[in-house]
Amino acid sequence: MDVQFCIDALDEALDRHGRPEIFNTDQGSQFTSWAWTQRLKAAGVRLSMDGRGRFLDNIFIERLWRSLKYECIYLHAFSGGRQARQGIGEWVAFYNHRRPHAVHGGKTPVRVYRERLSASGSGLRPNLQPTALVA
């Protein structure tokens, strides 16, 4: 991944989903570059960066990437970007809507999110902190 690829992906995410309050990355060269940090600052996004060797800071996303690779990417020989995008998109939908997660007591992430959203009341953000970590 080069810096421009990351900035293009960031711009697409900002256009599609809006501006987050904070953006967390590791200390990869793409994310420590002037172009990357200036793009986030220009968008009004606070930058958070993990300490060197701090895999625990990103353990949840690292677990997601591991699951994606072993449950989807390594099992399919995608013939190109379009096929990979479709296959990965289908896997993400499965992961969020149909795949039970031990950390959530066998519930899907979408079910847990909706339960916490309804429990938080109108206009409040749900508490999305995991209750346990299962490695």
* Average pLDDT in the chain: 83
pTM score of the predicted model:
0.56
Task: Quote the CATH superfamily of domain 3-53.
Answer: Ribonuclease H-like superfamily/Ribonuclease H (3.30.420.10)
Which of the four pLDDT bands, split at 50, 70 and 90, describes residue 135? very low
Percent of the chain with pLDDT over 70: 81
Secondary structure of 31-86 in HEC code, one letter for each residue: HHCHHHHHHHHHCCCEEEECCCCCHHHHHHHHHHHHHHHHHCHHHCCCCCHHHHHH
pLDDT, position 134 = 41
Task: Name the residue ranges covered by the structural domains of the chain.
Answer: 3-53, 58-120
Task: Please say whether the beta carbons of 61 and 38 come within 8 A.
Answer: no
Digit-coded pLDDT (tens) for 27-69:
777 788 899 889 999 999 988 876 665 566 667 777 888 999 9
